Amino acid sequence: MKTITLLLATLFAATAFAQDTKIGAITIDHAWARVTPGAVKNSAAFMTFNNAGVADKLISVTGSVAKEVQMHSMVTEGGMMKMREINALDIPANSKAEFKPGGYHVMLIGIPDGLKEGTKFPLKLKFEKAGEITVQVSVEKPGAQDHSEHKH
């Protein structure tokens, strides 16, 4: 029993650490990436930047998880979805910026074995002012908590 409690406490601590990382005035919340379906070798990573300080910019995201790691914008123009590489993500002062589904995201191109639910991988973030930090990104399957009649 003691072991289980300890294990749970450790797990909880690990989870809390992974989901809430801070550098300077910027808190990086819920860094996650989408599980890769089937043979797909690409994915996207998402996270929220809560900024309690001056305006900053995320100027690079790097990692060995994929052959290429790019920051992308996604816009819908005239009903057409367009993704484009961006050089930086603005993080306004005393505000927040997000990589989120349907918006700005970190595109991971060429992940050798794909991403499996429940695993984690590091991404190094470089901010213009706040400096560098490595975040642990958890691989999640969105909607997995929903009851589906269609799972075997």
Partner 1 sequence: MGCSNDKAAVKFNATDITGAAFGKTLSLNDSATQEPRTLESFKGKTTVFFFGYMFCPDYCPTTMTTLNEALGKMKPADAAKVQVVFVTVDPARDKPKILTDYVKAFNTSFAALYGTDEQTAAVAKEFKIIYQKSQVKSEFTYMVDHSTQMYAFDPQGRIRLMIRHETGADAIAQDLTALVNS
List of residues contacting partner 1 (CB under 8 A) = 34, 37-40, 42-44, 72, 74, 76, 79-85, 101-102, 105, 107-109, 142-143, 146-152
> Which tokens go with 108?
């991971």
Q: Toward partner 1, which CB reaches closer, 107 or 130?
A: 107
Q: Toward partner 1, which CB reaches closer, 1 or 81?
A: 81
Rounded to the nearest whole angstrom, what is the least distance from the CB of residue 139 to partner 1 in the complex? Answer: 13
72 phi and psi angles, rounded to 5 deg: -125, 150
Strands 120-127 and 56-62 come out as antiparallel
Q: Toward partner 1, which CB reaches closer, 37 or 122?
A: 37
Q: Toward partner 1, which CB reaches closer, 24 or 114?
A: 114
Query: Is residue 122 a contact partner of residue 135, using CB atoms and an 8 Å limit?
Result: yes
Convert 54-87 to b/e letters by CB count within 10 Å (16 or more is b): eebbbebbebebbeebbbbebeeeeeeeeeeeee
Rounded to the nearest whole angstrom, what is the least distance from the CB of residue 119 to partner 1 in the complex? Answer: 16
Q: Toward partner 1, which CB reaches closer, 101 or 131?
A: 101
Collapsing DSSP to helix, strand or coil, 29 comes out as: strand
Rounded to the nearest whole angstrom, what is the least distance from the CB of residue 34 to partner 1 in the complex? Answer: 6
C-alpha span between 145 and 118 (Å, rounded): 13
Rounded to the nearest whole angstrom, what is the least distance from the CB of residue 72 to partner 1 in the complex? Answer: 8
Rounded to the nearest whole angstrom, what is the least distance from the CB of residue 93 to partner 1 in the complex? Answer: 27
Long-range contacts of 78-87 (CB under 8 A, 24+ apart): 83/107, 87/59
